[in-house]
Amino acid sequence: MVTSERLYLAFLGAVAVERLAELALSRRNARRAFARGGVEVGRAHFRVMAGMHGAFLAACALEVLWLGRPFPGPVGLAALALALLAQALRTWVIHTLGDQWNVRIIVVPGAPPVVGGPYRYLRHPNYAAVIVEMIAIPMIHGAWLTALVWSALNALVLAVRIRAEEEALGPAYAARMRGLPRLVPGRRPPGAGELSGGP
């Protein structure tokens, strides 16, 4: 008999397979970046972030199975829609960045900032997608405790990671992205995303 729990576990399995494919792509892109002189920063917090993300899907499954969380009906369907939209945003980010996309912070000297795709609207659209996923994926099957705990952990990690990434990307990135919101879409101020005094 197909139950909501089995469907949810199948969904988590599909997400896990997709994440493994992303890691393979990230490793390939990392090799290419290092071959072009790329420099990695933020290794310490990356290990923490990787562990947190690695435990996330397991926590979703365990809360549903051990604590007997029921499927929350319309709330679960809305959460599923949000999770799918977040995945679409991640896919858009990966496509836009091409071989510059990576789960690690690797900066290639002289590489211009990417300003197309979702980067026209946000400085960090990938992290925006992750924030939504940390809430939506657990809530598909009522795993509210996982949503709360992992959202809090994710907020702490992102506070460190975003600061490290923006510092590593340097003044050209800061000038190009000036005025754009980091994570939440909003009104784009005049001149946002444009370099001042240069081509």
Q: Which residue has the tokens 């340097």?
A: 170
- Pick the closest to residue 8 from 128, 148, 136 (CA basis): 136
pLDDT value of position 91:
96
> In 10 A of CB 105, how many CB atoms?
20
Fold of the 4-175 domain = Four Helix Bundle (Hemerythrin (Met), subunit A) (1.20.120)
How many angstroms separate the CA atoms of 88 and 191, rounded?
28
pLDDT value of position 130:
97
pLDDT value of position 36:
93
**Could you tell me the two tokens for 120?**
């026209």
pLDDT value of position 188:
53
User: What pLDDT digit, counting tens, does each position of 144-176 carry?
Assistant: 999 999 999 999 999 999 999 999 888 888 888
pLDDT value of position 171:
85
Contact between residue 63 and residue 145 where contact means Cβ atoms under 8 Å apart: yes
Ranges of residues in the chain with a pLDDT under 70 are 187-199
Contact between residue 176 and residue 195 where contact means Cβ atoms under 8 Å apart: yes
Q: Which helix (H) or strand (E) holds 41?
A: strand 39-41
H-type alpha helices, the chain: 4-35, 43-66, 74-97, 125-139, 144-177
**Could you tell me the two tokens for 7?**
């469907």
